[in-house]
Chain A
Amino acid sequence: MSDTRMSITTRDLKLWYGKFQALKGIDLDIKSGMITSLIGPSGCGKTTLLRCFNRINERYGNVTTTGEIKLLGKNIYDPDVSLIELRKAIGMVFQRPNPLPISIYENVVFGLLIHSENKPSRRDLDDAVEKALTEVGLWKDLKDRLNDRAIGLQLEQQQKLCIARLLPLKPQIILMDEPCSALDVEGTRAIEELMWSLAGRYTILIVTHNMAQARRASSECIFMLLGELIEHSRTEDLFLTPRESRTAEYIEGRYG
C-alpha cells in the first residue's frame, strides 16, 4: 500500500552520538521527484538526518538510531535490506567534490562496473558516459579529454562529475550535503540549474547553509533546529508566511 508519491518517510526518528541526542523524533514525508531543501543553523542535525537515509551514519561507531525510515515504501532497517543495493539506489553528493583519483571516464563508469555482473561492452560504457556527462552539462567541454585526471578539473566541474558518477546507476534519490559550499558564484549557479534539470526524474534532498540557495533551488523546504523538525512546507510559503515564529526569526537572520 506504500504511498508511491513519497520518496522518504520517517517516523519518530531518533539518533544519538554516544550520549548526545542529535535527532529528537523526526516525522518527515518527502515527495518524489521534488527538490527538498533542509535548512537550519549549524549543529541542528541536517547533515545527520541526510546521512541516515543511506545508512552511512552507522559506519561510525557509537551511533544509535531508533524509529522508522522508509525509502520508496521500504523500511531500510529491515533485515533483508542489502546495504549494497540501498546505496546503489541512493546517491550522495558531498560538500567537497570527491572525484576518485582516476580518469574522468573511469569516474563515470565506476559505479556501473562494480555493479555489473558481466563487464559491460565498451559501447555501453561509452554511451553511459556520454549520457551522464550530457545530463550534467559537461559533455561538450570534456568529450575530448575523457582520459584526463578527474582531480585536475575545476571544482565546479568536479562537483558536476560527482553527480554524473551517480547517474548511470539510475538512483531514485540523490542526497546533497552542501554541494555548493566549495564553489564560486558561477559554479553554484551551474549546480543549481543542474538540480532543476534533474528534478522530476530524481528526488533530490539538499542540505544547505545558504538560505537564499534554499529559496532559489527547492520546491519544498524543511527548517530544523536543535535536532527537531520545526516546519516543512512549500519553499515559498516557508519563506513568505512561516507558521512558526522560530522559523520566521531564523529567516530574518535573528540567529543563525
Chain B
Amino acid sequence: MHSQSPPPVTFGETPFTRSKRRREKIAFAVFAGMVACIVIPLFLIVGYLVKEGAPLISWDFLTTNPVGGMRKGGIWSALLGTFWLVGTSLCISAPIGVLAAVYLNEYAKDNWFNRVINLAVVNLAGVPSIVHALFGLGAFVLFAHMGRSIIAASLTLAIMTMPVIIASTKESLAAVPRQFREACWNVGATRWQTIWHIVLPNSISGILTGVILQVSRTAGETAPIMFTGAVFYRKIEEGNFFAYGLADQCMALSMHLFTVTTQVTNAPHALPFAIATVLLGFVLMVNLTAILLRSWLRGRKKW
C-alpha cells in the first residue's frame, strides 16, 4: 500500500480546526463569565456592607452590650453568644462526626445496613434547618429538659452540621490511596494502627477544612437557635469571656441582625450593616484560619 505521496503533511490548521479553536475560546469565555457572575456580586455585596457599616464599627461596638432598646451601644452579648454557640456545637459535632466517618469509611463492611446508614447521612445533610430547629425543640429543650439554653441550641446545631462533617471527612479519608493501607497491612499493622499512623495524618488537612467550613454555616444559622436557646435581648457582663454558662440563654449575631432589621423601629441606618459586617468578618477569619491551617498541613503531608 503506497497511497501517501499527495501534498506534504503540514499539520496545519484547516478552517474546521480554526472553528474548533474558536468554539473553545467561546466556551472558555463563557466559563470565565460565570466566575465573574459569582465574584462581582460578592465583591459588591461585601463592599456595600462594609461601606454602610463602617461608621459604627469600633472596638467599643464589639465590646459593649446593646442599650437603648438595641438602638445604641454595641453587640458584645450577641458576639459572645455566637462564639459560644459555634464553639460548643463544634466540640460536639467534630469528634462524633469525624469518628463516625472513620468507622464508615475504614471499618464498615459494604452491606445493606451500612448502605442505609450512608444514605441516611447524605439525606440528613439536605434537611432544612427549620426542621432541625423543631427537632431540637422537641428533643433537647422539652424532652431532655434542657430548657432553652446554649447547650440545647448547640446540640441542635451539632445535629445539623454532623452529616456534612461525616460526608467531607469520608471523602478525605477515601482520598488516601489504598496502596498506603496495603503497605501498612503488609507489615502486620492492625486497622487501627494503619488509621492512626497513616490514614489520619494524611487526611487531616481535608478533615479540618471540612470541619472548619461548618463553622461559617453554624455562625450564620438563625432558625435552629431561635427556638432552642437564642433570645431577643440579654445583657451580660462586659469584657468577661465566660459571661455565659452552658445552661444560659444567649444572644447571637444572626438573630440580632434579624431582630434589629425587622423588629426594632428607628434603629440607626448603619447598625444592621455593621452587625452584618462583623458576622461576615467572623466567618472570614474562621475561613482564613482554615486555609492557613490547610496549607500548613499540606506542606507537612508526605505525598
Contacts and interface: CB of A to CB of B under 8 A. Distances in A.
Interface in B79-106: none
Interface residues of B, number: 15
Interface string B1-37: 1001100111111101101110000000000000000
Interface hub of A84, A172, A200 (most chain B Cβ within 10 A)? A84
A80 B13 contact: yes
Interface residues of A, number: 19
A71 interface: yes
Given A200-B1, A201-B1, A81 B9 contact: no
B113 to A, nearest CB: 29
A2 B17 CA distance: 25
Interface in A39-98: 71-74, 76, 80-82, 84-86, 89
Contacts of B20: 84
A186 interface: no
A83 B79 CA distance: 58
Contacts of B12: 80-82, 85
Interface hub of B4, B8, B9, B21 (most chain A Cβ within 10 A)? B9
Contact of B17 (A4, A82, A89, A172): A82
A85 B1 contact: no
Nearest to B1: A201
A144 interface: no
Nearest to A73: B8
A89 B8 CA distance: 13
B16 A172 contact: no
Nearest to A81: B11
A174 to B, nearest CB: 15
B14 A85 contact: yes
Contacts of A117: 16, 19
A74 B11 CA distance: 8
A82 B13 contact: yes
Contacts of B17: 82, 84-85
Contacts of B10: 74, 80-81
Contact of A89 (B1, B11, B13, B19): B11
Interface hub of A85, A115, A117 (most chain B Cβ within 10 A)? A85
8 contacts: A4-B5, A73-B8, A80-B13, A82-B14, A82-B17, A84-B17, A117-B16, A200-B1
List 10 tightest A-B contacts by C-beta distance, closest first. Answer: A72-B9, A82-B13, A86-B11, A85-B11, A81-B11, A117-B16, A82-B17, A84-B17, A74-B9, A201-B1
